[in-house]
Chains A and B, each alone.
Chain A
Amino acid sequence: GQSLEQPSEVTAVEGAIVQINCTYQTSGFYGLSWYQQHDGGAPTFLSYNALDGLEETGRFSSFLSRSDSYGYLLLQELQMKDSASYFCAVRSGYSTLTFGKGTMLLVSP
């Protein structure tokens, strides 16, 4: 089966940088995705890493190390609107995703 571990909560202040880690165990691996979900809203896609290394998209970056079964989401220049839950998800075949339990990010002024 698959399992993913990520911190349940992270706090930071506006303008700071925060890193949300994700470790996974899976049989078969195609890639690691990150999704953002604001309270009560629909999850939205942030990034996808299939190969080792860093992918940058604006203020957000995502990193993957396949040998360590580890990835992280890096959020820079934090804004209040970044307060949300962040989920890592593993694609392990059959086009389905297994999600972690999510990390709640609280950004304070």
Chain B
Amino acid sequence: EAGVTQSPTHLIKTRGQQATLRCSPISGHTSVYWYQQALGLGLQFLLWYDEGEERNRGNFPPRFSGRQFPNYSSELNVNALELEDSALYLCASSLRGRENNEQFFGPGTRLTVL
């Protein structure tokens, strides 16, 4: 069974540009989560999508947005990039309703903002 996949692996942008990151969940998983992992800050929750709807978002500005497609894949968009947006962006998927909420993570997209 294929795991969570993310693309691209690396992304280099300049300040003010827009970045689009993509995620494909494990087959059968309807929930997709996005996290930002900046150096020394652990994983910070960005967004949760389930069944095509945004269900929850973390404490991030509106220039962080995304969507989930009918096939449950997801896209994270970051507008007006700032230097501090440089981080590893992790996507995770899970089966909704699982009591332990085990999340399966992809390898991440390393975003560098110059």
Contact = CB atoms under 8 A, between A and B. Distances in A.
Interface stretch (A13-21, A40-48, A71-79): A40-48
B71 interface: no
Contacts of A100: 42
Contacts of A94: 48, 55-56
Given A42-B90, A95-B55, A31 B100 contact: yes
B61 interface: no
Contacts of B4: 42
Interface stretch (B62-70, B77-85, B102-110): B102-110
Interface in A69-103: 87, 89, 91, 94-102
B101 A43 contact: no
A36 to B, nearest CB: 11
B14 to A, nearest CB: 24
Contact of A99 (B43, B56, B104, B107): B43
B107 A41 contact: yes
Interface of B: 4, 31, 33, 35, 40-45, 48, 50, 55-56, 58, 90, 92, 94, 96, 99-108
